[in-house]
Amino acid sequence: QYHPFTSPAYAWHFTSALRVPSDFNFMEYVLIIVRAIHAFARPGTPRGPPKGYAEEFRNVKIVSPDTALTDAFLAFTQPKSSFFHSVVAFVVRLAFGWMKLTVTVDVASLDSVMQLQAPLVLCPTHRSLLDFVIIGATCLQFQPILPTLRMPQVAADAEFSGLPFLGWALAWLGAFFVRRGGGAVQPEPALRAQVGKVFHRGRPLEVFLEGMRSRGRRQLRLRTGLLKTLRDISQRTVALVPLALSYELLPEDEAFYRELSGLPREKLSTRDLLTWALRGLRGELPPLGEARLRLGRQHTLDSSSDLDQLVAGVQRELVELTSLTTIHARALAELLELPPTAVASAFEKSGVPIRESKLPTPKSQLLQASLWPLVLQAATLHPLRSKLPRQWARWLVEGVFDAKEEPEEAVSSQKVLDKDAFDVSALAAALTLHLEAAEAIAVKASEALREGGMVEVTEEHLVQELLANAAMNGQHLPGPLARGAASIVASKTKVSSASLGGKSSSSSKPRQPAAVGVLWPSASTDKAQLSSEEALDRWGYKDTRFVAQYFDGKPAAQITSKRYPGLAGQPMYKLWELFTRELSVPMNVRDVLPERPMPQLPKPEEGLEEVLTAALPTGRSCFDAESRLRAGTGHGLADIWRLRTRQLPRIPDAVVRPESEEEVQAVLSAATAFADGKGFAVVPVGGRTNVTSATACPPKEVDPRPFVALDMRGLSKIVWVNAEDGVAMIEAGITGMALKESLSKFGVTMGMEPDSMEFSTLGGWISTRASGMKRARYGNIEDMILEVRLVTPAGALWQRHSESSTAGQTAIGRASTGMSLPGLVLGSEGCLGVVTSAVVRVRPLPQVIEYQSVVFADWARGAMWMREVARLPAALRPASCRLMDPKQLALARALREESSSSTSKGLRSLLQDAFLRWRGVSIDSAAAATLVFEGTKPEVALQQRTLAGLVAKAGGVWGGASSGEAGYALTFAIAYLRDFGMDYRILSESLETMAPWSVIGAVWPAVQSAVEAEHRALRLPGRPFMSCRMTQLYDEGGVLYMYFAVCTAGLAPERALEAFSRIEHAARAAVMASGGCLSHHHGVGKLRASLLPQTQSPVLTKALQELKTTFDPANVLGARNGVWAVPQDEATHEQVEKEPNDAAVH
CA distances for 586 relative to 37, 546, 893, angstroms = 55, 19, 22
3-state secondary structure of 50: coil
Cα 158 to chain centroid, rounded = 18
The CA-based dihedral angle spanning residues 429, 433, 436, 442, taken in that order and rounded to the nearest 10 degrees: -160
Residue 867: Cβ-neighbour burial (10 angstroms; 0-12, 13-18, 19+): middle
CA distances for 543 relative to 524, 532, 865, angstroms = 9, 8, 40
pLDDT at 513: 36
Buried b (16+ CB within 10 A) or exposed e, 282-299: eeebeebbbbbbbbbebb
Q: Which regions in the chain score pLDDT beneath 50?
A: 1-15, 45, 47, 183, 402-404, 413, 416, 496-498, 502-525, 900, 1128-1146
Residue 137: Cβ-neighbour burial (10 angstroms; 0-12, 13-18, 19+): buried
3-state helix, strand, coil in the chain (%, to 5): 45, 15, 40
Among 428, 468, 209, smallest CA distance to 313 is for 209
Specify the pTM. Answer: 0.83
pLDDT at 830: 95
pLDDT at 506: 37
Whether the CB-CB separation of 380 and 322 falls below 8 Å is answered with: yes
pLDDT at 116: 80
Among 764, 759, 714, 715, smallest CA distance to 740 is for 759
DSSP bridge partners of 682 = 708
In whole angstroms, give the CA distance from residue 482 to residue 385. Answer: 18
Structure confidence by residue, pLDDT tens digits, 854-900: 999 999 999 999 999 999 999 999 999 999 999 999 998 888 876 54
- Active-site residue (options: 247, 541, 1041, 1043): 1041
pLDDT at 1032: 96
For residue 790, which phi and psi values (nearest 5 degrees)? -125, 125
Residue 210: Cβ-neighbour burial (10 angstroms; 0-12, 13-18, 19+): buried
The sign one gets for the Cα dihedral 311, 312, 313, 317 is positive
Among 102, 120, 93, smallest CA distance to 59 is for 102
1041 is catalytic: yes
pLDDT at 81: 76
pLDDT at 675: 82
In whole angstroms, give the CA distance from residue 904 to residue 916. Answer: 18
pLDDT at 1093: 93
pLDDT at 363: 77
Whether the CB-CB separation of 895 and 567 falls below 8 Å is answered with: yes
804: left (phi over 0), alpha (psi -120 to 50) or beta: beta
